[in-house]
Amino acid sequence: MPTNLSIDIGNTAIKLAVINKTRIIFKDTHFEPITIENLKVQISQLFEIFNFAGAIVSSVRNDYEIVADIFSNFKQFEYLTHQTPVPIKNLYETPDTLGKDRLAAAVGATVLFPNQNVLIFDVGTALTVDFVNFRGEYLGGTISPGIQMRIRALHEFTQKLPLVKPQFETMQLFGTNTISAIEAGVKNGILYETEGYIRRFSEQYSDLHVIFTGGDLFFFEKNIKNSIFAEPDLIHIGLNRILEYNA
């Protein structure tokens, strides 16, 4: 059965996934710097195992020529840009500034919940919230600091507040010292923010589905009181759908 290769190149990590329809059958993440030669070797090894039908790359870097050279022997290769045809209607006023990960996640949401209203939270370095309606129209979203960015901002933009390493296993309504007060403020604040979005969108849009993805997914999955759908591979699912759409 044909498989595809999806690669998401971010600022701090390169994530690879081998996909059969919507099922991830292999994935790998490189957090340390990886050379192009090493990436070539790994992709060549994976190609021998899976014999890919195609590949798609989403990258925050200006590396099209380098990446395209790696996939020169693939039958189909897509390098995601704002000009790449996608199976949703993008109504963002400045499509060239829309993050490719946000666009891919929006497409992935329509794969999991076709013809339905979907609110997508990507919880990582930043907290992004994006909305796709039942017509398959991407209407836009919001961007705010993620957990780690909020903690660093409190430390770097003040004279005395310490840099805290949050303990995600516990939740407190308030702190009894400066460290626990920062933890409680950041963790409760971002939870109230996300729950507020869910409540407001639910009031305006019927039969709303809520998807969470991203590096801090486990924290929200554990602590959000609303009913949510957790999908750590949402971006890969969306990239794969875009690849198939352009086949």
In this structure, the number of other CB atoms found within 10 A of the CB of residue 26 comes to 14
Among the listed residues 90, 33, 51, the one whose alpha carbon sits nearest the alpha carbon of residue 238: 90
What is the C-alpha to C-alpha distance for residues 181 and 225, in angstroms, rounded to an integer?
A: 22
In this structure, the number of other CB atoms found within 10 A of the CB of residue 78 comes to 23
From 101, 122, 216, 233, the catalytic residue: 101
What is the C-alpha to C-alpha distance for residues 86 and 231, in angstroms, rounded to an integer?
A: 20
What is the C-alpha to C-alpha distance for residues 32 and 114, in angstroms, rounded to an integer?
A: 36
Q: Token pair of 155, please?
A: 């430390």
Query: Which residue's structure tokens are 């971006």?
Result: 235
Residue 96 a catalytic site member: no
Contact of 103 with 138, CB cutoff 8 Å: yes
Among the listed residues 133, 80, 85, the one whose alpha carbon sits nearest the alpha carbon of residue 102: 80
CA angle 196, 150, 95 (to 5 degrees): 70
Query: Which residues does the annotation mark as catalytic?
Result: 101
